[in-house]
Amino acid sequence: MTVISGLSTVIRKHDKEKQMVTIKEERVSAAEYIDFLKRTDLGSQYPKERFEQRIEKLVRNVSISLIARNGEGLIVGALFGLTDFCYWLYITDLGVDRNYERQGIATRLMKTAHEIAGGEKDIAVYLIANEDAVPFYEKIGMKKANDVMQYNHIEWTEWTVE
């Protein structure tokens, strides 16, 4: 586990208490990630079918795994991405604990992932955005694209991780 240089930051939670958040490139267990999903809106993006097995594969196999933790070690933000480290980065997951939203964590996660993958001069970033998240992505400079193709024949029962 390496701490990404310069990414410890003091943020203010809603109760005005100061809280240190540190971003590290690290792997987490499926159980810890599932616990995090319960505290975010990110969990609604997953199908119910074989959920735990798929999450186990996800946390084990992503190219980039960035985790933001508060001072007590609780995951308060996460970004998973797939990259070739030459041309592209596909963000599969970006979420922030509801109690830590609007503190800049997601922006820092995106910028850090982009740099790890190779930087904005070499790496194009792609993702599928939840409709509610589109304003955030536009705010950080992303644009909607109409050239994405899809091949999807999987079972997909919508649900919310609780």
Map out the domains of the chain as residue ranges: 2-139
With CA atoms as reference, report the closest residue to 24 among 95, 77, 89.
Answer: 77
pTM over 0.85: no
CATH number of the 2-139 domain: 3.40.630.30
Strand blocks (E) in the chain: 2-3, 9-12, 18-25, 64-70, 75-83, 88-96, 124-127
Question: How many whole angstroms separate alpha carbon 79 and alpha carbon 92?
Answer: 8
What pLDDT, in 10s, does the model give residues 62-114? Answer: 999 999 999 999 999 999 999 999 999 999 999 999 999 999 999 999 999 99
Return the top range by mean pLDDT from 10-14, 126-130, 138-142: 138-142
For 6, the token pair is 């310069």
For 83, the token pair is 């990259």
CA angle 117, 121, 125 (to 5 degrees): 50
6: region left, alpha or beta (phi > 0 left; psi from -120 to 50 alpha): left
Higher-scoring residue by pLDDT: 157, 51: 51
Higher-scoring residue by pLDDT: 43, 65: 65
Question: How many whole angstroms separate alpha carbon 50 and alpha carbon 62?
Answer: 18
